[in-house]
A = this chain, B = another copy of it.
Amino acid sequence: MTQSSEQAFLKSYNPKEYDTPIYSVDIAIFTLDQGRLKVLLVERGEHPFKGFWALPGGFVDLKKDPDIHTTARRKLVSKTGVDAPLLEQVSTIGNAHRDPRHWSITTLYMALIPYAPTAEFIEAVNEARWFPIEEIEQLQLAFDHSELLELARERLKNKTAYTVLPIHVLKRPFSLTQLQKAFELLMDTALEKKSFRRRLLNADVLKEVGEGIPEGGKGRPAALYEPADGSESHLFVRVFGD
Protein backbone atom coordinates (compact mmCIF):
# COMPACT_ATOMS: atom_id res chain seq x y z
CA MET A 1 0.00 0.00 0.00
CA THR A 2 1.41 3.33 -0.94
CA GLN A 3 0.88 6.40 1.12
CA SER A 4 -0.49 8.36 -1.81
CA SER A 5 -3.08 5.88 -3.04
CA GLU A 6 -4.38 5.57 0.50
CA GLN A 7 -4.66 9.35 0.70
CA ALA A 8 -6.46 9.58 -2.60
CA PHE A 9 -8.88 6.93 -1.51
CA LEU A 10 -9.72 8.66 1.70
CA LYS A 11 -10.51 11.91 -0.04
CA SER A 12 -12.95 10.17 -2.33
CA TYR A 13 -14.77 8.36 0.45
CA ASN A 14 -18.17 9.64 1.50
CA PRO A 15 -19.96 7.66 4.21
CA LYS A 16 -23.36 8.92 3.16
CA GLU A 17 -23.18 7.07 -0.11
CA TYR A 18 -23.81 3.80 1.62
CA ASP A 19 -26.95 2.48 3.18
CA THR A 20 -26.11 2.02 6.82
CA PRO A 21 -28.22 0.99 9.81
CA ILE A 22 -29.22 3.27 12.65
CA TYR A 23 -26.91 2.80 15.63
CA SER A 24 -27.71 3.57 19.23
CA VAL A 25 -26.70 2.74 22.78
CA ASP A 26 -29.07 1.68 25.57
CA ILE A 27 -28.44 1.15 29.26
CA ALA A 28 -30.07 -0.99 31.89
CA ILE A 29 -29.31 0.81 35.14
CA PHE A 30 -29.82 -1.31 38.24
CA THR A 31 -29.95 -0.35 41.87
CA LEU A 32 -31.15 -1.71 45.19
CA ASP A 33 -33.75 0.14 47.21
CA GLN A 34 -35.83 -1.06 50.12
CA GLY A 35 -34.80 -4.61 49.51
CA ARG A 36 -35.89 -4.53 45.90
CA LEU A 37 -34.01 -4.62 42.64
CA LYS A 38 -34.96 -1.59 40.58
CA VAL A 39 -34.33 -0.41 37.05
CA LEU A 40 -34.37 3.12 35.72
CA LEU A 41 -36.78 3.85 32.88
CA VAL A 42 -37.46 7.06 30.99
CA GLU A 43 -40.62 8.11 29.26
CA ARG A 44 -40.17 8.74 25.57
CA GLY A 45 -41.09 12.25 24.50
CA GLU A 46 -40.67 11.67 20.78
CA HIS A 47 -41.81 9.30 18.11
CA PRO A 48 -41.53 6.45 17.64
CA PHE A 49 -43.08 4.93 20.78
CA LYS A 50 -43.87 8.38 22.18
CA GLY A 51 -45.24 8.03 25.70
CA PHE A 52 -43.84 4.56 26.26
CA TRP A 53 -41.33 3.72 28.97
CA ALA A 54 -37.90 2.82 27.67
CA LEU A 55 -34.35 2.15 28.76
CA PRO A 56 -32.23 5.30 28.76
CA GLY A 57 -30.16 5.58 25.64
CA GLY A 58 -29.62 7.42 22.44
CA PHE A 59 -27.33 8.03 19.53
CA VAL A 60 -23.60 8.49 19.42
CA ASP A 61 -22.54 12.10 19.24
CA LEU A 62 -19.79 11.90 16.64
CA LYS A 63 -18.52 15.33 17.57
CA LYS A 64 -18.22 14.81 21.30
CA ASP A 65 -17.93 11.08 22.02
CA PRO A 66 -14.49 9.58 21.42
CA ASP A 67 -15.97 6.07 21.69
CA ILE A 68 -19.19 4.21 22.46
CA HIS A 69 -18.28 3.61 26.08
CA THR A 70 -18.25 7.36 26.49
CA THR A 71 -21.64 7.55 24.84
CA ALA A 72 -23.00 5.10 27.37
CA ARG A 73 -21.41 6.96 30.25
CA ARG A 74 -22.76 10.27 29.02
CA LYS A 75 -26.27 8.85 28.99
CA LEU A 76 -25.80 7.37 32.43
CA VAL A 77 -24.58 10.61 33.95
CA SER A 78 -27.28 12.69 32.34
CA LYS A 79 -29.98 10.45 33.78
CA THR A 80 -28.59 9.67 37.21
CA GLY A 81 -25.99 12.31 37.99
CA VAL A 82 -23.60 9.51 38.91
CA ASP A 83 -20.33 8.61 37.24
CA ALA A 84 -17.70 6.09 38.37
CA PRO A 85 -19.97 3.11 38.94
CA LEU A 86 -19.87 -0.24 37.24
CA LEU A 87 -20.71 0.23 33.59
CA GLU A 88 -20.15 -2.59 31.17
CA GLN A 89 -21.24 -3.79 27.82
CA VAL A 90 -23.74 -6.62 27.66
CA SER A 91 -24.50 -7.32 24.04
CA THR A 92 -25.29 -5.82 20.66
CA ILE A 93 -28.62 -6.44 19.00
CA GLY A 94 -29.27 -5.51 15.41
CA ASN A 95 -32.02 -6.45 13.00
CA ALA A 96 -34.41 -5.15 10.41
CA HIS A 97 -37.53 -4.93 12.56
CA ARG A 98 -36.66 -3.60 16.00
CA ASP A 99 -37.11 0.03 14.99
CA PRO A 100 -39.92 1.04 12.64
CA ARG A 101 -37.75 3.75 11.13
CA HIS A 102 -34.97 1.64 9.73
CA TRP A 103 -32.64 -1.33 10.07
CA SER A 104 -31.37 -0.67 13.57
CA ILE A 105 -28.58 -1.72 15.89
CA THR A 106 -28.16 -1.06 19.59
CA THR A 107 -25.38 -1.85 21.99
CA LEU A 108 -26.76 -2.65 25.39
CA TYR A 109 -24.85 -1.69 28.53
CA MET A 110 -25.64 -2.34 32.13
CA ALA A 111 -24.77 -0.15 35.09
CA LEU A 112 -24.91 -0.76 38.82
CA ILE A 113 -25.16 2.17 41.19
CA PRO A 114 -25.96 2.65 44.86
CA TYR A 115 -29.40 4.08 45.38
CA ALA A 116 -28.80 6.98 47.69
CA PRO A 117 -26.76 9.47 45.70
CA THR A 118 -29.15 9.35 42.76
CA ALA A 119 -32.58 9.29 44.25
CA GLU A 120 -33.03 13.07 44.50
CA PHE A 121 -31.45 13.60 41.12
CA ILE A 122 -33.95 11.27 39.52
CA GLU A 123 -36.82 13.13 41.16
CA ALA A 124 -35.64 16.26 39.40
CA VAL A 125 -35.56 14.61 35.99
CA ASN A 126 -39.27 14.33 35.78
CA GLU A 127 -39.52 11.85 32.96
CA ALA A 128 -37.30 9.26 34.67
CA ARG A 129 -38.35 6.74 37.33
CA TRP A 130 -37.09 3.72 39.23
CA PHE A 131 -39.25 0.63 38.71
CA PRO A 132 -39.06 -2.57 40.74
CA ILE A 133 -38.05 -5.14 38.19
CA GLU A 134 -41.10 -7.34 38.72
CA GLU A 135 -43.39 -4.43 37.89
CA ILE A 136 -41.70 -3.92 34.57
CA GLU A 137 -42.79 -7.34 33.45
CA GLN A 138 -46.34 -6.00 33.34
CA LEU A 139 -45.31 -2.99 31.27
CA GLN A 140 -45.03 -2.77 27.52
CA LEU A 141 -41.76 -1.03 26.85
CA ALA A 142 -40.69 0.82 23.72
CA PHE A 143 -38.93 -1.05 20.91
CA ASP A 144 -37.52 -4.41 22.04
CA HIS A 145 -36.51 -3.00 25.40
CA SER A 146 -38.26 -5.75 27.34
CA GLU A 147 -35.96 -8.25 25.68
CA LEU A 148 -32.95 -6.04 26.23
CA LEU A 149 -33.76 -5.79 29.91
CA GLU A 150 -34.12 -9.54 30.08
CA LEU A 151 -30.65 -9.92 28.55
CA ALA A 152 -29.14 -7.53 31.06
CA ARG A 153 -30.91 -9.30 33.91
CA GLU A 154 -29.49 -12.64 32.80
CA ARG A 155 -26.00 -11.27 32.55
CA LEU A 156 -26.37 -9.76 35.98
CA LYS A 157 -27.36 -13.11 37.46
CA ASN A 158 -24.58 -15.00 35.81
CA LYS A 159 -21.80 -12.58 36.55
CA THR A 160 -22.87 -12.24 40.15
CA ALA A 161 -22.21 -15.93 40.61
CA TYR A 162 -18.48 -15.57 40.08
CA THR A 163 -17.61 -11.95 40.68
CA VAL A 164 -18.11 -9.39 43.36
CA LEU A 165 -20.45 -7.19 41.31
CA PRO A 166 -23.01 -6.56 44.04
CA ILE A 167 -20.67 -4.29 45.98
CA HIS A 168 -21.55 -1.66 43.39
CA VAL A 169 -25.19 -1.35 44.39
CA LEU A 170 -24.42 -0.80 48.07
CA LYS A 171 -23.67 2.38 49.92
CA ARG A 172 -20.40 2.16 51.77
CA PRO A 173 -19.55 0.88 54.19
CA PHE A 174 -21.73 -2.21 54.25
CA SER A 175 -22.10 -5.28 56.43
CA LEU A 176 -21.70 -8.85 55.27
CA THR A 177 -25.39 -9.43 55.78
CA GLN A 178 -26.22 -6.52 53.52
CA LEU A 179 -23.81 -7.83 50.97
CA GLN A 180 -25.35 -11.26 51.11
CA LYS A 181 -28.80 -9.78 50.64
CA ALA A 182 -27.50 -7.93 47.61
CA PHE A 183 -26.05 -11.11 46.15
CA GLU A 184 -29.30 -12.94 46.76
CA LEU A 185 -31.38 -10.26 45.09
CA LEU A 186 -29.13 -9.97 42.06
CA MET A 187 -28.82 -13.71 41.68
CA ASP A 188 -32.37 -14.49 42.67
CA THR A 189 -31.25 -17.38 44.89
CA ALA A 190 -30.81 -18.01 48.58
CA LEU A 191 -27.24 -18.49 49.77
CA GLU A 192 -25.75 -20.31 52.74
CA LYS A 193 -24.60 -17.85 55.35
CA LYS A 194 -21.48 -19.68 56.42
CA SER A 195 -20.29 -20.54 52.93
CA PHE A 196 -20.93 -17.01 51.77
CA ARG A 197 -18.89 -15.48 54.55
CA ARG A 198 -16.06 -17.97 54.20
CA ARG A 199 -15.77 -17.24 50.51
CA LEU A 200 -15.80 -13.51 50.74
CA LEU A 201 -13.53 -13.16 53.71
CA ASN A 202 -10.99 -15.58 52.30
CA ALA A 203 -11.09 -13.93 48.90
CA ASP A 204 -9.38 -10.87 50.23
CA VAL A 205 -11.59 -8.41 48.38
CA LEU A 206 -12.99 -6.65 51.45
CA LYS A 207 -11.38 -4.45 54.01
CA GLU A 208 -12.89 -4.01 57.44
CA VAL A 209 -13.45 -0.38 58.29
CA GLY A 210 -15.25 -0.46 61.60
CA GLU A 211 -18.37 -1.67 63.26
CA GLY A 212 -21.90 -0.43 63.55
CA ILE A 213 -25.55 -1.10 63.11
CA PRO A 214 -26.62 -0.60 59.50
CA GLU A 215 -29.22 2.11 59.11
CA GLY A 216 -32.60 1.41 60.63
CA GLY A 217 -31.45 -1.92 62.00
CA LYS A 218 -31.60 -3.61 65.36
CA GLY A 219 -29.55 -6.30 67.01
CA ARG A 220 -25.88 -6.84 67.37
CA PRO A 221 -23.64 -4.40 65.50
CA ALA A 222 -21.99 -5.80 62.41
CA ALA A 223 -18.49 -5.47 61.10
CA LEU A 224 -18.50 -2.98 58.25
CA TYR A 225 -16.56 -3.36 55.05
CA GLU A 226 -15.49 -1.58 51.93
CA PRO A 227 -14.00 -3.02 48.79
CA ALA A 228 -10.28 -3.58 49.29
CA ASP A 229 -7.97 -1.37 47.29
CA GLY A 230 -7.76 -2.46 43.71
CA SER A 231 -10.75 -4.73 44.00
CA GLU A 232 -13.10 -2.31 42.32
CA SER A 233 -13.10 -4.29 39.14
CA HIS A 234 -14.48 -7.71 38.45
CA LEU A 235 -12.61 -9.85 40.85
CA PHE A 236 -13.27 -13.52 40.63
CA VAL A 237 -15.07 -14.84 43.67
CA ARG A 238 -17.23 -17.80 43.23
CA VAL A 239 -19.95 -17.53 45.82
CA PHE A 240 -21.44 -20.93 45.60
CA GLY A 241 -20.39 -24.19 44.08
CA ASP A 242 -21.61 -25.20 40.66
Q: Which of A18-26, A74-82, A175-183, A220-228 touches B?
A: A18-26
| Residues B6 and A62 in contact, CB atoms below 8 Å apart | no
Please pick, from B9, B20, B65, B91, the residue contacting A20 in the complex, using a CB distance under 8 A: B20
- The smallest beta-carbon distance between A100 and chain B, in angstroms, is 6
> Which B residues are CB-close (under 8 A) to A67?
93-96
| Residues B92 and A5 in contact, CB atoms below 8 Å apart | no
A240 at the interface (CB under 8 A from B): no
Please pick, from B51, B62, B162, the residue contacting A1 in the complex, using a CB distance under 8 A: B51
> Which B residues are CB-close (under 8 A) to A66?
95-97
Within 8 A of B (CB), among A102-158: 102-103, 105, 107
Q: Count the copies.
A: 2
Interface size class on chain A is 35 or more
> Which B residues are CB-close (under 8 A) to A51?
1
| Residues B68 and A102 in contact, CB atoms below 8 Å apart | no
Please pick, from B10, B92, B101, B238, the residue contacting A107 in the complex, using a CB distance under 8 A: B92
A16 at the interface (CB under 8 A from B): yes
Please pick, from B6, B52, B95, the residue contacting A47 in the complex, using a CB distance under 8 A: B6
Within 8 A of B (CB), among A153-174: 162
> Which B residues are CB-close (under 8 A) to A239?
none
Q: 1/0 contact trace for A27-64 toward B, CB 8 Å? A: 00000000000000000000111111000000110100
> Which B residues are CB-close (under 8 A) to A103?
60, 62
Instruction: Give the complex CA separation of A52 and B1 in angstroms.
Output: 8
Query: Which positions in A face B, CB cutoff 8 Å?
Result: 1, 5-6, 9-10, 13, 15-16, 18-23, 47-52, 59-60, 62, 65-68, 89, 91-97, 100-103, 105, 107, 162, 236, 238, 242
Please list the 10 inter-chain residue pairs (A to B) with the smallest Cβ-Cβ separation, ordered nearest first. Answer: A67-B95, A68-B94, A9-B47, A92-B92, A1-B50, A15-B102, A62-B103, A92-B107, A13-B101, A1-B51
